[in-house]
């Protein structure tokens, strides 16, 4: 049963208003604090509501240095900001904006190094506590990847399963696992789900880049969505591959750095989402319900353009996201205003 239109979201940086900061990025000597970051998030929520964007990924650096092992002066930051976190959570709920975290690549739960695993669990607990203090429901999740293969994929997967059982309850409750484009496929994370019950994230571009089992897309998506088992609306990731030539610096025979032009790699994300690729994907997924986090480099600008493209080229898909034929003029003016906005 549909409770509201499916959402589109984007991660962290607001490209349409570059002056809006996503977190307090000051160095430790200047005493950065979560309270400052929450002030920035408050402004971003206003921006999201103004443009009817109902999903947003918070910066993984929202609480600066909160888990730095050598800086205990920051370790109580999350608890100190309990009132501010609750206020942000209330505002997000009032505006119907879904929030999440995607911890950094340094969070690795299947490492053979127990100290790295311990630090990773601490990072996850800190972010889970922030979502709990915001009093957000099960849709507010922490998205991570399996980690490294370390020369033995089956063993690496087994370590992830064993580590999951040891994680603090708030982390296990909010953690979701995403397949990647180089090491662990959708089939791999489905195996992990079978052994842990952890919820899963489907990533469209990753699936196209890494699917050695040659699984069909729709049945795979259906199995991944089913991992949520009624714990909120599932979400998935969508991006298009970057097709431009790449300019890289390489050392020549004389030892000097020279520029070389190379073909694209299909794991790279494009600035915008290819509209016909997205429309085709959504057509294949007809009848399924999920939210979509866009991982295009143009962030909110890519989201606004994609909404306009859906209304123009596939109104039946646009309606699934709450967009009608009357939206085109508004979206076109909105895009023009943001693209022409001067950078601060």
Domain boundaries, the chain: 8-241+288-294
Residues 8/292, Cβ–Cβ less than 8 Å: yes
Mean pLDDT of the chain: 94
Burial profile 143-176: b = 16 or more Cβ within 10 angstroms, e = fewer = bbbbbebeeeeeebbebbbebbeebeebbbbbbb
Q: What was the pLDDT predicted at 324?
A: 84
What element of type H or E holds 88?
Answer: helix 82-94
pLDDT in tens, 233-264: 999 999 999 999 988 888 877 888 888 889 98
pLDDT in tens, 36-89: 999 999 999 999 999 999 999 999 999 999 999 999 999 999 999 999 999 999
pLDDT tier at 2 (50, 70, 90 boundaries)? very low
pLDDT in tens, 89-108: 999 999 999 999 999 889 99
Beta bridge partners of 249: 259
Q: What was the pLDDT predicted at 330?
A: 76
Cα distance between residue 167 and residue 285, in whole Å = 34
Cα distance between residue 86 and residue 90, in whole Å = 6
Q: What was the pLDDT predicted at 250?
A: 83
Look up the CATH superfamily of 8-241+288-294: Divalent-metal-dependent TIM barrel enzymes (3.20.20.150)
Q: What was the pLDDT predicted at 341?
A: 59
């Amino acid at each position: 049963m549909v409770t509201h239109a499916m959402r589109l979201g984007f991660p962290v940086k607001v490209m349409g208003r570059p002056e809006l900061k996503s977190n307090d990025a000051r160095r430790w000597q200047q005493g950065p604090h979560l309270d400052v970051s929450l002030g920035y998030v408050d402004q971003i929520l206003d921006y999201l509501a103004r443009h009817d964007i109902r999903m947003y990924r918070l910066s993984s650096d929202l609480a600066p240095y909160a888990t730095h092992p050598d800086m205990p002066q920051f370790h109580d930051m999350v608890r100190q900001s309990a009132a501010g976190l609750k206020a942000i959570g209330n505002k997000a709920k009032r505006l119907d904006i879904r929030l999440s975290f995607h911890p950094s690549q340094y969070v690795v739960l299947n490492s053979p190094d127990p100290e790295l695993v311990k630090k990773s669990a601490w990072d996850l607990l800190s972010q889970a506590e922030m979502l709990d203090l915001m009093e957000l429901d099960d849709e507010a999740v922490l998205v991570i990847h399996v980690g490294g293969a370390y020369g033995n994929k089956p063993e690496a997967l087994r370590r992830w399963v064993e580590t999951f059982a040891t994680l603090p309850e708030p982390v296990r409750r909010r953690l979701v696992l995403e397949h990647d484009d180089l090491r662990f496929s959708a089939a791999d994370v489905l195996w992990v789900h079978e052994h842990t019950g952890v919820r899963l994230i489907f990533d469209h571009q990753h699936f196209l880049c890494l699917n050695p089992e040659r699984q069909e897309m729709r049945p795979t998506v259906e199995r991944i969505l089913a991992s949520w088992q009624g714990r909120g609306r599932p979400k998935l990731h969508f991006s298009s591959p970057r097709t431009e030539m790449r300019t890289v610096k390489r050392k020549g025979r004389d030892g000097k750095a020279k520029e070389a032009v190379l073909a694209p790699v299909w794991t790279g994300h494009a600035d915008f989402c290819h509209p016909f690729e997205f429309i085709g994907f959504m057509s294949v997924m007809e009848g399924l319900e999920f939210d979509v986090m866009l991982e295009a480099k143009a962030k909110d600008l890519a989201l606004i353009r994609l909404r306009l493209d859906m209304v123009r080229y596939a109104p039946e898909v646009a309606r699934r996201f709450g967009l009608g034929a009357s939206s085109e003029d508004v979206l076109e003016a909105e895009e023009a205003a943001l693209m022409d906005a001067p950078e601060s």
